[in-house]
Amino acid sequence: MAEAARDARIIRSRIGAWERFVRIWRYRELLVGMTRKELKVKYKNSVLGFAWSLVNPLLYLIVFYVAFQVILQSNTPAFPLFLLSGLLVWNLFSTGLSGATGSIVGNAGIVNKVAFPREILPLASVGAALVNFALQGIVFIAALAVVRWDVAWEYLPLVPLALIGVLLLAGALGILLSALNVYLRDTSHFLELALLAWFWMTPIVYPFMTIGGRDGWSSKVYMMNPVTPVVLVFQRAFYAKVDNDGIAILPDWSWGEYAGYLGLTFGVALVALTIGVSVFGRLEANFAEEL
């Protein structure tokens, strides 16, 4: 990167999308540094520090366990494992996206003073969420090992693919929304509500088959949610129970069908990335003035 920084640099009003990707790639080392910074800032002045990233899903687990298993008497077996296998990856998506949305405004001090591809900032927020996810994932896998849970080995290779898909989606939407948030500061508030609705539109707390198993257009619309394939792959691989006493929980699809459904995530992510990068490029010119 040192050599890259010494090359001629051209500054003009518009930079093509391809050139943008090249610039981000050149600054990949900075992305790692910014991700580290993101985590440091987040846990600075907090007593529990990184432990928070483990406490958070634990609290979710308690709340949903009480609400669904105790009060509503839903009968998903091994509910904690079911919930966590979807929730962790959802949290990766939602914290990554909401962090990214506020990233340009939150780093105004840097944006106003130093030049670097600004896309690094939303991407670093997603990166920070990924680090948290990895920590939680390790604990989750340890828990699976302790209870000797039968994971679906043949579906595990799909997990990295799903992970890439969700990172791409969060990064793409994050780039788009972070730029919009500079001009419309309530984007982040709006996003909070949208994410809440989105959460319930995704089969995390309840099994996919309760809605996705129905016939008709409502289930078709439901299946258009690009996060659903990712959550399903995680559930299919780790939770692994397709049904419980004849009541369907997860779709009884083959490996290929799950992979095909993941195509939806990648498709939406690539469209979002194209739109996001071009909108970001248009709006970026005036970031320093708006902040």
Residue ranges binding other proteins (CB under 8 A): 1-2, 4-13, 29-30, 33-34, 37, 40-41, 44-45, 107, 109-116, 183-187, 190, 284-286, 288-289
Q: What is the CA radius of gyration of the chain?
A: 20
Shortest distance in whole angstroms from residue 10 CB to other proteins: 5
Per the DSSP assignment, residues forming a β-bridge with 243 are: 248
Please state, as a whole number, how many other Cβ atoms lie within 10 Å of the Cβ of residue 57.
Answer: 19
Shortest distance in whole angstroms from residue 234 CB to other proteins: 33
Nearer to other proteins, 47 or 114 (CB): 114
Nearer to other proteins, 41 or 145 (CB): 41
In angstroms, the first-to-last Cα distance of the chain is: 28
Instruction: Return the DSSP state at 201.
Output: T
Give the C-alpha distances (Å, rounded to integers) separating 182 from 108, 128, 157, 189, 262. 10, 21, 39, 13, 32
Shortest distance in whole angstroms from residue 38 CB to other proteins: 10
Shortest distance in whole angstroms from residue 133 CB to other proteins: 23
Q: Are 184 and 209 in contact (CB under 8 A)?
A: no
Shortest distance in whole angstroms from residue 15 CB to other proteins: 8
- Give the DSSP H or E segment for 248: strand 247-248
Q: 């990712």: which residue's tokens?
A: 230
Nearer to other proteins, 110 or 161 (CB): 110
Nearer to other proteins, 110 or 259 (CB): 110
